Amino acid sequence: MDPCFETATGLGRAIRNGRLSSAEATEVHLQRIARINGPINALVVVDRAGAMKAARAADRALAQSGAKSGGKKGARLGPLHGVPITIKEAFDVAGLATTSSHPPLKDNIARSDASLVARLRAAGAVILGKTNVPELCMDFQTDSPLFGTTKNAWDARRTAGGSTGGGGVAVAARLSPLEIGSDIGGSVRNPAHYNGIFSLKPSEWRVPGRGHVPDLPGQTRTVRYMGVFGPLARSVADLETALRIIAGPDGNEAEAAPVPLGPTPAFKPKDLRIAVLDSNPLVRVSADTVAVVQATARLLGKAGAKVKHAEPASFDWQQSWDDWSDLLQYEVRALQPLAERERFFARRESADPSVRSVARAARLDMAQFFAVLDRRDRVIRQCEQFLDDYDAWLMPVMPDAAFIRQKQSEPLRIDGVDHPYFFAGCSYNYLANLTGQPSIVLPCGFSRDGLPIGLQLVGKRWGEAKLLGVAKVLEKLLPPCPVPPSYKD
């Protein structure tokens, strides 16, 4: 077996069964990183010494567990025991840089692990290093002022996605079997879509965020809504394994509720009711994307699922997008001095919906802030009630496959039609952040240019276990997770 082409759960089994040592798995991944990472720039911190030390300790613990349990190795070890993984650079990993690609933090070294990093270590994971992000995780391309640009795993001219772009490329290029990222507007989902892998955005407040930047170290925590933390991987089983490790309150955030995940149901296709959205009225997706949505819907239908093209009745897509954008901007601008915010006040009539949103939120009007939260509650009720009738809602992740890298100031072109950059880039992912509902991305097809196209399954709040069960059904109907042509060996 080549450890770099195994899933995280597969590596875990092989290590616990004694077919592979953690030191071997870790060394092979480090060698591949040394050989491949340079041009694509997925990992920006490689902790060779720390990873090998942890791997050797994992092997010793495995041997000791066998001695203590009468020869049954791995009896009491974690599900990722000895498995090498990567972490998004925006999370604290003790002893390593945590900058979130923000130049003022270029010398910041984490003193402790983020909550979810500590949980992964406790489950036995070996941390290979940290992956690239755009500045303060605020883009769906990954171009860092500190670390440079990450290239797409399928075409180096194209975007890797963002903000977990380095992680998406690392998993796709087989530099890591598992990555942990963050998502407030698609940041674990669009890199999965663009690079042909899987990802999971959990329910809001399911996974603790302590040790994630932003918020900036030592400042008031303002990112309290919509931001979530979840895995990128090459199988649904890996998403489930990671979620069960990192989920649950850690005692630091009052919003986090101790809601149990519960068991993942074993569905058959005939058990499922799937709503399908080809495209929304904000930004029409590409013909390639529509073709993949329709082919996937047919695949589910032929397998026996009840499939219906549907969306919530009288749903106001533009207002819901404005509310997501405004709420995000309130969080981003909350600590900015008035002089920095004033320059946006006069731009409320801009043709770009993102700019209008900044102009509205920059005033930090508390009455308007609570009005946004009130409208958000209504959208949550609307989408939750819609999913009373369906097990999941299948829809695009992004309007098209990975685009050739460009400036944020340039419009995003979809099948020859120009759209404002951030508006288009968040026009599908925003909704699950606004509602706090979980979403799972699976690689479902390809564009005419041979680029991967992922789709997302959205479920009810706190319904990750059920959504994982639905995703496992679809995963079995699809081909295996694809390997980018340049990284097949």
Could you tell me which residues are beta bridge partners of residue 200? 440
Q: Is 187 a catalytic residue?
A: yes
> For position 70, what pLDDT does the model report?
52
Q: Is 308 a catalytic residue?
A: no
Could you tell me which residues are beta bridge partners of residue 440? 200, 457
- Which pLDDT band holds residue 72 (cuts at 50, 70, 90)? low
Where do runs of H (alpha helix) occur along 103-235?
Answer: 115-122, 165-172, 189-195
Cis peptide before 215 (omega within 30 of 0): yes
DSSP string across 35-79:
HHHHHH--EEEE-HHHHHHHHHHHHHHHHHHHHHTTT-TTTT--T
Determine how many CB atoms are found less than 10 A away from the CB of residue 193: 31
> Does residue 130 carry a pLDDT above 70?
yes
> For position 74, what pLDDT does the model report?
58
Q: Do residues 144 and 102 lie in contact, with contact meaning Cβ atoms separated by under 8 Å? A: no
Q: Tell me the percentage of the chain whose pLDDT exceeds 90.
A: 97
> For position 287, what pLDDT does the model report?
98
**Residue range 352-357: mean pLDDT, rounded:** 97
> For position 65, what pLDDT does the model report?
87
34: tokens are 């040394």
Burial track 133-160 (b if 16+ CB lie within 10 A, e otherwise): bbbbbbbbbbbbebbebbbbbbbeebbb
Q: Rg of the chain over CA atoms, in angstroms?
A: 21
Q: Which is catalytic among the residues 73, 88, 201, 466?
A: 88
d(Cα 196, Cα 288) in Å, to the nearest integer?
Answer: 15
Q: Which is catalytic among the residues 22, 115, 163, 199?
A: 163
> Does residue 224 carry a pLDDT above 70?
yes
> For position 73, what pLDDT does the model report?
63
> Does residue 441 carry a pLDDT above 80?
yes
> For position 68, what pLDDT does the model report?
59
For the stretch 74-114, pLDDT in tens is 568 999 999 999 999 999 999 999 999 999 999 999 999 99
> For position 75, what pLDDT does the model report?
61
Query: For residue 433, which of 287, 228, 232 has the smallest C-alpha distance?
Result: 228
For the stretch 388-403, pLDDT in tens is 999 999 999 999 999 9
Q: Do residues 41 and 165 lie in contact, with contact meaning Cβ atoms separated by under 8 Å? A: no
**3-state SS, residue 249:** coil
- Which pLDDT band holds residue 69 (cuts at 50, 70, 90)? low
- Residue entry with tokens 């994307």: 289
d(Cα 361, Cα 225) in Å, to the nearest integer?
Answer: 15
> For position 225, what pLDDT does the model report?
97
Q: Which is catalytic among the residues 187, 199, 320, 447?
A: 187
**Residue range 441-451: mean pLDDT, rounded:** 98
Q: Do residues 109 and 66 lie in contact, with contact meaning Cβ atoms separated by under 8 Å? A: no
Which comes out higher in pLDDT, residue 425 or 66? 425
Cis peptide before 214 (omega within 30 of 0): yes
State the amino acid at position 125 in one-letter form: A
> For position 477, what pLDDT does the model report?
98
> For position 1, what pLDDT does the model report?
81
Q: Do residues 221 and 427 lie in contact, with contact meaning Cβ atoms separated by under 8 Å? A: no
Q: Is 163 a catalytic residue?
A: yes
Domains contained in the chain, CATH given: 3-310+390-487 (3.90.1300.10)
State the amino acid at position 304 in one-letter form: G
SS3 content of the chain, % helix, strand, coil (to 5): 40, 15, 45
For the stretch 250-269, pLDDT in tens is 999 999 999 999 999 999 99
End-to-end CA distance of the chain: 12
d(Cα 103, Cα 122) in Å, to the nearest integer?
Answer: 31
Q: What is the average pLDDT value for the chain, to the nearest integer? A: 97
